[in-house]
Chains A and B, each alone.
Chain A
């Protein structure tokens, strides 16, 4: 399959990213990648599980929209092509440590508060922890500043949920692209 760098950039912006599926480079949206169960490049199984659970608390449905696959894909991309919003507000790249450190800290705090990893807590308990994270009141936290981690991850969840053509249309916001994607966002 011929796939130029320019094509990668255009499709990446609209939603298609190149994932490895059954050993082949395949263009998918994060949502499709989630459904297809692509293998992750940067995040461990535990990190992915924690991230998905956190995403569901921050913005329900974001895991289905491919939050884990999106972040993992972006962490593996060259810095100049990364799309993560942490670029605006965070420390210099690489950002692996920020995400992995924050997810580990969340599990550390969850263990201290409730004796289990974050993903295994009740929704009620997860919501309480995230609220404390947002307010900087989370104890036993050894990662990036909790409110900052909350801010960035919340915006990542918003990106995959509402930063897409289908996401905007779900709000009644016409996308009105100058340059239409070469393949529709919701292909397949």
Chain B
């Protein structure tokens, strides 16, 4: 029967590909709809310029607030979504991240605990492969050791680690979903710092390498250049029945028992808001009024330094070589009004140009002074980045633009984000600490960057209370249990770590539940 499936998955990024692979392996007939173009590892090119084509190129997202989420930079377009340019830093959330409201009286609680998610973290890391050294991560929550040895340490990492040691702080190899050795038929990484441009040799665990092949081998169908413009519902408004999509063959309706939205934290709520009906006048899954709310983005703390020693800053992975989570506890800087968790990602591989490149760290320089700086920095530059928790704020939200629509008549997303004062205070403190580390390491010059926006989470948060959240712990919307959300949009809090590992673990848990309790 044409255009009828067990499940439609909207989006082929990390969450969508993972969900599709699991549902298809479970015997379900799955259709993946990807708004962007087809792409395989063979299409990736090692170039900071070419890498920009992996970023968002879809309909504009309107941004406002004091600290915009940086949608174009953080999102992706095309097969694999933003995971095609992600840096594969895969730490776990900590137990306190799931119980922020209960333990501290701030933020929100998740409807699950770390213990609920731990088996899924363990399963996913075996499937996708993570390189690391669990024993050295003294702060790591319980779990199986990593399946691959730690990533290698290059000069930049050695030098910065020296500063942490002087200050009595620990470092451990950064847990990376990158192969440090051959793994499940994948080649080991050659540590050339091109992660941001995608990984054509399959060393980095992106959807094109891991989950999409599994999905298609299990029978899932993938339609590219196909944009979903509306979610269809039954006449009585109790169920999602499919989607309306525009693709190469024009506009069509596709039907399924289950509709999974995996189009990232902004487009998911946009589509749900734009699919309002008489039964759901404020948007699908929005009886609580929280749809689109609690958008979060990690404030990035950027530390830079110049050393006399050669740092080989171009070697390694884009995500870094080492990690420090000594101060992950949410009240480490409480005396300053700061609240939240953070980690240091240490010694990122850098290129001369691009937004995260060496030249951009000193925007005050131009002319011959810039040339001179580039010559020095190419040999002695070092950097590390703090992932700082962004406390959830209801006013930070995705709404529909009142005035602007895309080519298919769907209102554009308007995203408002201003960092909570307690998160901003933490970011301030983190920058002080980072500069002290670099000075202790012997840097001749130390400077910092502006507040970056890293990752986008929230907007379709999960929770136990249908009056205060959009979905249950499995991503099923409280209002229509066969309309499922997957991805970082489900996070009620952001933690102080990168989200992609947790996205995979949540998706695996959701898929297990759906297969065992199919909402047909």
Contact = CB atoms under 8 A, between A and B. Distances in A.
A159 B355 contact: no
A24 interface: no
Interface string B191-219: 01110000111000000000000000000
With a 10 A CB-CB cut-off, give which of A57, A168, A173 has the most chain B CB atoms: A173
A155 B49 CA distance: 11
Contacts of A84: 52
Contacts of B43: 6, 9-10
A119 to B, nearest CB: 16
A159 B53 contact: no
A80 B57 contact: yes
Contacts of A168: 351-352
Given A10-B45, A79-B57, A178 B353 contact: no
A43 interface: no
B352 A167 contact: yes
B354 A178 contact: no
Given A89-B355, A163-B354, A178-B200, A171 B375 contact: yes
Interface string A66-103: 00000000000001111111011100110000000000
Contact of B366 (A58, A83, A181): A58
Nearest to B310: A172
A176 B194 contact: yes
Contact of B52 (A58, A85, A162, A179): A85
Contacts of A26: none
Interface string B35-47: 0010000011111
Classify chain B's interface size. Answer: 35 or more
Nearest to A162: B352
B46 A176 contact: yes
Candidate in B49, B73, B368 with the most chain A CB atoms within 10 angstroms: B49
Given A83-B50, A155-B359, A176-B193, A88 B366 contact: no
B268 to A, nearest CB: 20
Contact of B47 (A13, A93, A172): A13
A148 to B, nearest CB: 11
Contacts of A158: 352-353, 357, 359-360, 370
B86 interface: no
A87 B355 CA distance: 11
Nearest to B355: A88
Interface in A7-42: 9-10, 12-14
Contacts of B374: 162, 171
A59 interface: yes
A181 to B, nearest CB: 8
A138 interface: no
Contact of A179 (B46, B77, B354, B357): B46
A87 B52 CA distance: 8
Contacts, number: 139
B55 interface: yes
Contact of B199 (A127, A151, A171, A178): A178
A81 B370 contact: no
B245 interface: no
A93 B57 CA distance: 9
B309 to A, nearest CB: 15
A67 to B, nearest CB: 13
B201 to A, nearest CB: 6
Nearest to A127: B367
Contacts of A127: 367
Interface in B363-406: 363-364, 366-368, 370-371, 374-375, 378-379
Given A57-B367, A176-B314, A14 B50 contact: yes
B48 interface: yes
B50 A171 contact: no
A102 to B, nearest CB: 15
Given A85-B354, A176-B314, A178-B201, A163 B370 contact: no
B72 interface: yes
A164 to B, nearest CB: 8
Contacts of A12: 49-50
Contacts of B45: 9-10, 13-14, 177, 179, 181
A113 interface: no
A9 B50 CA distance: 8
Which 3 pairs from chain A and chain B are nearest by CB? A13-B50, A92-B60, A171-B378
20 contacts: A12-B50, A13-B51, A60-B367, A80-B53, A81-B53, A87-B55, A88-B55, A134-B363, A154-B359, A154-B363, A154-B366, A159-B48, A168-B352, A173-B378, A176-B190, A176-B192, A176-B193, A177-B192, A178-B46, A178-B200
Given A83-B52, A181-B45, 10 more contacts: A80-B53, A83-B50, A89-B355, A127-B367, A154-B359, A155-B353, A159-B353, A159-B354, A162-B352, A178-B46
Interface of A: 6, 9-10, 12-14, 57-60, 79-85, 87-89, 92-93, 127, 130, 134, 150-151, 154-155, 158-159, 162-163, 167-168, 171-179, 181
